[in-house]
Structure 1
């Protein structure tokens, strides 16, 4: 038995490669989604077996005596295709396999637009969790192409962009590509937000310009933030806090007692695919967080306005939490984080010995081993022709973490 995996292209029969047509002309079995089987006019004599999961396809192939079965995939076999999981299963069993690539929706769409696509960032939102805000930010100004479908339709993705403040970006939707009802339309993302699109759709988002003050490393200079009279975690401490949090892109972070939002902003910039929640109850501080969010283009940062721990109730489970201020509610804040994620990584700062003791006790009570670092910073100050060192207040950085209970 020789199994042929065929990329059927975008859908129109004229885009089927000659090698694929030849294979379909001699096949004795067709396996694929119902849509592909119904649309395939070739091999009318061959029995057809609807299946989309590789395990089900393998069961069909092993349960019958075929000579030249063909497995059909939409688009290209190497572009977000189920061939990725079927190929190793067949090879493990010593089955002879031939792969015939097809024209992907990305290639076809770019050709219809008359544009090259090699610089595009490519993302699948077809049946997968996808935050378009993070993908646009992570692309650093490159156009982002989305395969869409299900809950990740083009309208839903544009709605998320608009909610985050990116509704001005240009969105181009391609529907039913290569079919008689093909439709390509373009406009601001906010105009397409929430609209229903065809199940077979793709989306191109472009026009995002990264801020000129984008960081090259963690620990931005204090002077680049809008501050007012609101307390702010200073540059050296902030850099150490970010290191202690072990920031990983795609995770969820809380910044409790966010103040100016300096830590929240840096978290957002360091991890563009992460969701960052700045929790703050004071009006002036909330206004500064909004202003700094816009200043740095930190569109994956959301302000949770309210007093902790109450303001934490509706937030998603965090992977990391920084507590810059607790207003006497340190233990319930920590408890709220641990209840949502027992394996959460926690980092907090203290300038008073009493706060240090309370933090260590709270972490211990919650089953975490507190680890304490004291950071003492001195900054130079010109005096006449000399530079004198001016000491800053010592700061304790306390971290805690425990493995999730099995």
Structure 2
């Protein structure tokens, strides 16, 4: 029989009564060195400092009749190596039982006196983690980060600060459940400078979130100035044409006020948007709208396309709102990065429409052209008159 035991923080005091009985009755104990160093009294000296599933299985094959205990920190059901080992044990016909432990989530919850039932739980232990994306998709809930390896609460706080979330309230819990337990409270910006113990976790609260709604914010929701802006109806249609997905990498070339960039960023909370603009007054507006809508996954790229596009990551989709006469070069740059990128080009002038069709054709794509002719009412005494906006063409490509 093999028993998988969650040891909580790794101290005997937080071991469950079931876990204690199982440990003291085992004739072989396997686990990480740190856990083996803190076993309760009355346990066998037959101990193996192993944690990789392959090594554990090899050890168990050497002692097929052993009553073995396998140790895991925290709880066996919370980002634990137990989840990987259990199916392997069953595949080899080894019967196993699981005795859960006290997780770091429970320990932090108890330490700060708040329930954890509504927290979003995320692992940044030995895996890539985008803390800003996790917070932006948490729908206002606190976000708990299990950390470890190169990712510490401080590095996560630094990433949040870089993404514009430095004012979020943060709590770092170190050595929870041990005599060395320590809690640090502050903003993500402030706690980014903390030196954290190896056994640390992070809770992010009170994150300011962008508005979540269908594409097409009202025009007057944006800070505009004198820079031309893609209108509400056109923005909604463009996002539909681009078929934006939550994890997409997106370009907005000729971003203007950043209205399309903001819509793209909110539609792809786990992705990233690169707003390319060369006019200084437009760049200032993009920054302001980024802050107003809390579009923290939006980066402003100041410069002229296609020159500044070379250093950008490959896009999943590209909106082209202005190229200053370099339509072919911009399309070439986008499709060179990703031949399957979804493109949507907006045009007012017939010459721009012609250039867009030709640029797509050069890559073997058939252009689909949609004309949007939008009229809006304005009051005239007791009457309401329709006033037409300039017709807009949206051009997308489909490979033959």
Aligned pairs for 1:178-257 within 5 A = 178-210=177-209, 214-257=211-254
Partner of 2:13: 14
| Uncovered stretches (5+) of structure 1, i.e. residues with no partner | none
Counterpart of 2:3?
Answer: 4
Runs of 5+ consecutive residues of structure 2 not aligned to the other structure: none
Distance 1:383 1:14 in 2: 79
Distance 1:28-1:364 versus aligned 2 partners, 3 A rule: farther
| Separation of aligned partners in 1, 2:331 and 2:38 | 57
- Give the direction of change, closer, same or farther, for the CA distance of 1:10–1:327 in structure 2 (3 Å limit): same
How many matched pairs? Answer: 399
Matched, 1:23 2:22: yes
**d(CA) in 1 for partners of 2:222, 2:327:** 26
Distance 2:29 2:366 in 1: 59
Of 219-228 and 126-135, more deviation after overlay is shown by 126-135
Task: Give the distance between the partners of 1:333 and 1:73, measured in 2 at CA.
Answer: 53
> Does the 8 Å contact 2:368/2:398 carry over to 1?
no
Q: What's the counterpart of residue 146 of structure 2?
A: 147
Runs of 4+ in 1 over 6 A off after TM superposition: none
Aligned residue in 2 for 1:382: 379
After superposition, residues 250-265 of structure 1 pair within 5 angstroms as 250-265=247-262
8 Å contact from structure 1 (residues 172, 205) kept in 2: yes
Provide the secondary structure at the position in 2 that maps to 1:71. Answer: strand
Residue 152 of structure 1 aligns to a residue in which SS? coil
Question: Residue 287 of structure 1 corresponds to which residue in structure 2?
Answer: 284
Cα contact 2:218–2:232 (8 A) shared by 1 = yes
Q: For the residues of structure 1 that align with 2:386 and 2:125, how far apart are their CA atoms?
A: 57
Helix, strand or coil: the match of 1:244?
helix
Whether the 8 Å contact between 2:24 and 2:44 is mirrored in structure 1 is: no
- Whether contact under 8 Å (2:171, 2:184) holds in the other structure is yes
Moved more, 370-379 or 148-157: 370-379
Judging changes above 3 Å, is the alpha-carbon distance between structure 1 residues 240 and 176 closer, same or farther for their aligned structure 2 residues? same
Partners in 1 of 2:58 and 2:373 — Cα distance? 65
- CA-to-partner distance for each residue in 1:117-164, whole Å, 9 max, x for gaps? 112222111122212222222223322211112332111111122222
1:94 deviates by 4.0
Give the Cα–Cα distance (whole angstroms) in 2 for the partners of residues 331 and 200 of structure 1: 54
Match for residue 306 of structure 1?
303
Q: With the length of structure 2 as denominator, give the TM-score of the two structures.
A: 0.91
**Which piece of structure 1 moves more, 223-232 or 265-274?**
265-274
- The CA distance in 2 between the partners of 1:355 and 1:111, in whole Å, is 62
After superposition, the Cα gap between the structure-2 partners of 1:372 and 1:31, relative to the gap in structure 1 and judged at 3 Å, is: farther
Q: Kindly report which structure 2 residues correspond to 1:121-200, keeping only aligned pairs within 5 A, or say none.
A: 121-200=120-199
Determine the structure 2 residue equivalent to 1:344. Answer: 341
Distance 2:158 2:204 in 1: 12
The Cα of 1:368 is off from its aligned counterpart by 4.4
Instruction: Find the aligned partners of 1:334 and 1:84 in 2 and give their Cα distance.
Output: 47
Gap change, CA 1:176 and 1:343, over 3 Å in 2: farther
Measure the CA separation in 2 of the matches of 1:337 and 1:169.
Answer: 35
Query: Tell me, what secondary structure is at the counterpart of 2:96?
Result: strand
Give the 3-state SS of the residue equivalent to 1:116 in structure 2.
coil
CA distance in 2, matches of 1:134, 1:232: 27
Aligned pair 1:366/2:363, yes or no?
Answer: yes
Change (3 A) 1:319 1:40: farther
Task: Provide the C-alpha distance between the structure 2 equivalents of 1:259 and 1:141, rounded to a whole number of angstroms.
Answer: 30
Q: 2: distance between equivalents of 1:401 and 1:124? A: 40
> SS in structure 1 opposite 2:202?
strand
Q: Secondary structure at the match of 1:148?
A: strand
- Describe the shift of the 1:62–1:231 C-alpha distance in structure 2 as closer, same or farther (beyond 3 A): farther
Deviation string 1:316-337 (CA, Å, 9 cap, x unpaired) is 3322221111112223323333
Corresponding position: 1:45 with 2:45: yes
**Structure 2 equivalent of residue 104 of structure 1:** 103
- 2:324 corresponding residue in structure 1: 327
The verdict on how the C-alpha distance between 1:83 and 1:340 changes in structure 2, with shifts beyond 3 A counting, is: farther
Q: Deviations over 1:67-107 (max 9, x none)?
A: 43222221111111122222233334443221111111010
What residue number does 1:396 align with? 393
Q: Which moved more, 1:127-136 or 1:340-349?
A: 340-349
Deviation at 1:169, TM superposition (A): 2.0
CA RMSD in angstroms comes to 2.4
389-398 vs 222-231, greater mean Cα deviation: 389-398
